[in-house]
Copies of this chain bind each other. A is one copy, B any other.
Amino acid sequence: MLPEVDLSVEISGLRFKNPVLTASGTFGYGLEFADFFDISELGGFCTKGLSLHPMKGNAPGRIAETPSGMLNAIGLENVGVDCFIAEKLPLLEGFDCLVIANIFGKTIEEFVALTEKLNPHPKVAAYELNISCPNIKEGGVQFGHDPEMTHRVVQAVSSVSEKPVWVKLSPNVTDITVFARACEQAGADAITLVNTFVGMVVDVHKKRPMLSNTTGGLSGPAIRPLAVRLVYQTVQAVDIPVIGIGGISTVRDALEFLIVGARAVQVGTANFVDPSAAARIVEGLREHCVKEGVSDIDDIIGSFRPIEEGDFVYY
């Protein structure tokens, strides 16, 4: 028998049975993974981004593979919030795992309307505001690249929300802490980051972009070092919890984020590479704690030992 390990974490008043969630847009509406593992094993999952009205997404040429990563420009194809409530949410009732509704609007009003529509549904545990999608013209980084706009949309949603409000930040900015602080001041309950980095791949024979949207968002292991640093920086800048995302495929990767202070992690692209990746990471975290003699995951979160003046490191 393995010793008991308490993997549970508290974030914005919610208790997650473990700090492993799955990232929006990489886990469908949760149901698609039921063949691979019991999704009740997860701390929680974030739905595909939901909009007020269904969206058909971008034209083909939506993904391209890159070294240790992939670009996507799905264009936020989704069934729309009404269909989600009517058709998807009821099917999620049976699962013992917190559901975070990832939402985005083209205007502040749309964000507010989405929140109001989802408020009555207890299976939705929290909102994750996507103000950082690089692949749509309106409502994406238009909010996420302007601290003023960030503040306004977060404040508007927070004021009507009956659930915790998480804000998902864009990494494509000069100083992430400005945005994190804007969220905190506007009443956000947690920060999630990172969303994808803007990139592009050219078909050198056709001399055209591989994506119909020209550019797309880079995700996967390639971005992990960038994401870890942004999470580390953000943890130090705000008091609200930070949830780390970016290229997590293994328990080692998840630990990087937890050690620098992320209260939980989200697994994204790895779900495509190995559909059981998130469940594997939950298991791996438990084993890691046992091996390190840690009985509570909270002892790992933020356990980072900064370099002090004059320190140097051989490995």
A: residues with CB less than 8 A from B are 59-61, 64, 66-69, 71, 145, 172-175, 197-204, 206-215, 218, 220-226, 228-229, 232, 247, 252, 255-256, 259-260, 303-307, 310-315
Of A145, A201, A223, A252, most buried by chain B (CB within 10 Å of CB) is A223
Q: At the interface, is chain A mostly helix, strand, loop or mixed?
A: loop
Contacting residue for A212 out of B67, B173, B200, B313, CB 8 A: B313
Residues of chain B within 8 A of A208, CB atoms compared:
304-307, 313
CA distance A232 to B212 in the complex (A): 16
CA distance A245 to B212 in the complex (A): 24
- What are 17 pairs between A and B in contact, CB < 8 Å? A59-B311, A61-B315, A67-B68, A67-B220, A145-B174, A145-B175, A174-B174, A199-B229, A200-B229, A203-B313, A203-B315, A204-B252, A206-B313, A207-B303, A213-B307, A218-B225, A222-B223
**What residue of chain B has the Cβ atom nearest to residue A257's Cβ?**
B202
Check if A61 sits within 8 Å of B172, measured CB to CB.
no
Residues of chain B within 8 A of A59, CB atoms compared:
310-313
* Nearest-Cβ distance from residue A225 to partner chain B, whole angstroms: 3
CA distance A256 to B200 in the complex (A): 10
* Nearest-Cβ distance from residue A311 to partner chain B, whole angstroms: 6
